[in-house]
A and B are shown apart, each in its own frame.
Chain A
Amino acid sequence: MTMVEIVNVEGTNRRNLFNCLKNNIDVDFVDDPSSVKASTLILPGVSHFGHYIDFLDAHGWREFLLNTDRKIIGICSGYHALCSGSEESPRHKGIGLLQGQAKLIKADLSCTNGKVPHVGIRHLPKCNSIEQGKGYFVHSYGVLADGIENESQIIKIAQSQYAVSQINKNIIGLQYHPELSGEDGKHLLLELISR
């Protein structure tokens, strides 16, 4: 059985994910839910929220995601897609499996890490399921930590606290890109897949 399938969303960096994992596990791409074979699905990052949701709805992914017990890992805009929505495209509704709505990060030029997009490697704190480490970020929207009850890692970006990961049973959202975070990130991604 293929261990991991990457949902083939146009405009995402799905190839980076494939390259990151290909030497360690059985990984493939998948276009629509009827073709899913893997126990873990990854929603890749880098895409406009509205474009992303349009793709998921056009291919029947919403209903599948709402009803599956497979492990789902959403990265960056894939994480936002799993939340309730995003200010990037307010008319599009998120899948709603994770808490919160992605909001535009307000640039604050008076502080470190205050520019938007928020880009670069940041230290990540430990939470129950994820060890501390480093993650590469590249995003303009984020999920504010206030009101998030799911297990999460929280860091400060431009003077506000953001939930840069969320775990709700089989659903995992990561704001950072483990596939672009060197060996640390690759290790984390493989660990999340294998647990």
Chain B
Amino acid sequence: MRLVCRIEVKNNWVVKGVQYEGVGKVLALDKGYRIPSNDKIEEVILLDLTRSVFGLPPNFMALEIVAENTNLPITFGGGIDSVEAALKAFELGASKVYLNSSVTVNETSLVNELVKIVGRQAITIGCEYRIENGQRMCYGEAGREPFQETLTDRAIAMNACGAGEIVVSHIESDGIEKGFDWECLDELPPLPIPIILASGGSQAELDKIQGYESMKCEALCFSKVFNNDYG
């Protein structure tokens, strides 16, 4: 089971919110920043959730700082809405880009274009959902904008349009460390691309990560629990 560390940033701060709201500062993102010191981490997802909400360009400064001091792969996202922005992310040290608000079931042109330049393995798609009337419904703009798409429909469409992997995030589990929404995996059909399960990961789940090999995902993404691992 691949272990992924999600680092959330806002401007030049590492932050963490609860259910995509009310971000609190964790530590300054300056030249001396180092990712959490856990040698089991295989990848980093670096996100500035505020970018798409306010229509701001991606937080490239944060990417440069994090990439400068790590030799782990970085998936970078938050506000990437064009081929140019994605290519700049690769130029500055991203190995993959994370797209959410800019891609819907009915609007996949950005993925279609990027596949031709960087290949599908470099494209990660967010499936950020709330549970409404028993259905997992996906959102853009950091949980503000409903896509009117179910998790299943979005996952199927993203595989079909050329995504290399999907990150499945339950918005209401975010930041509360009560455990992942494992049941969402039962809702998804078998997909040939990797699935990363994110949001809500607890310390207990992190401690027994290798015990989840039989689950229907290839990676687990933790965020808040790693805040204890800054030196």
Measuring CB to CB, which residues of chain A are less than 8 angstroms from any residue of chain B? 10-16, 19-20, 46-51, 77, 88, 107, 109, 112, 115-117, 119-121, 136, 138-140, 177, 179-183, 185-186
Q: Is B157 an interface residue (CB 8 A)?
A: no
Report whether A19 and B119 are in contact in the complex, using a CB–CB cutoff of 8 Å: no
Stretch at the interface among B22-30, B66-74, B98-106, B139-147: B66-74
Report whether A117 and B95 are in contact in the complex, using a CB–CB cutoff of 8 Å: no
Given contact pairs A11-B87, A48-B115, A88-B119, enumerate 6 new A-B contacts (beta carbons under 8 Å). Answer: A11-B117, A15-B91, A19-B68, A48-B117, A180-B73, A180-B95
A20: B residues at CB distance < 8 A: 71
A139: B residues at CB distance < 8 A: 121
Q: Is B36 an interface residue (CB 8 A)?
A: no
CA A85 – CA B134 in complex, angstroms? 49
Report whether A140 and B121 are in contact in the complex, using a CB–CB cutoff of 8 Å: yes
Report B29-76 residues with CB < 8 Å from chain A CB.
Answer: 39, 42, 67-69, 71-73
Q: Write the chain A residue with the least CB distance to B91.
A: A15
Q: Is B110 an interface residue (CB 8 A)?
A: no
Report whether B93 and A117 are in contact in the complex, using a CB–CB cutoff of 8 Å: no
**Smallest distance from the beta carbon of B139 to chain A beta carbons, Å?**
25
Report whether A13 and B95 are in contact in the complex, using a CB–CB cutoff of 8 Å: yes
Report whether A119 and B218 are in contact in the complex, using a CB–CB cutoff of 8 Å: yes
Report whether B193 and A11 are in contact in the complex, using a CB–CB cutoff of 8 Å: no
Leading 7 A-B pairs by shortest Cβ distance: A107-B192, A117-B121, A15-B93, A180-B73, A120-B2, A48-B119, A117-B164
Report whether A12 and B90 are in contact in the complex, using a CB–CB cutoff of 8 Å: yes
Which of B2, B42, B219 counts the most chain A CB atoms within 10 A? B42
A121: B residues at CB distance < 8 A: 2, 42
Which of B117, B118, B119, B120 counts the most chain A CB atoms within 10 A? B119
A77: B residues at CB distance < 8 A: 119
- Of the candidates A47, A49, A140, A179, which one forms a contact with B71 in the assembled complex, judged by CB atoms under 8 Å apart? A179
B67: A residues at CB distance < 8 A: 15-16, 19
Report whether B91 and A140 are in contact in the complex, using a CB–CB cutoff of 8 Å: no
Report whether B71 and A181 are in contact in the complex, using a CB–CB cutoff of 8 Å: yes
Q: Write the chain A residue with the least CB distance to B2.
A: A120
Report whether B119 and A116 are in contact in the complex, using a CB–CB cutoff of 8 Å: no
Report whether B95 and A120 are in contact in the complex, using a CB–CB cutoff of 8 Å: no
CA A136 – CA B44 in complex, angstroms? 13
* Contact A109:B121 (CB < 8 A) given known A19-B67, A115-B218, A120-B219: no
Contact string against A for B residues 119-133, beta-carbon threshold 8 Å, 1 for contact and 0 otherwise: 111100000000000
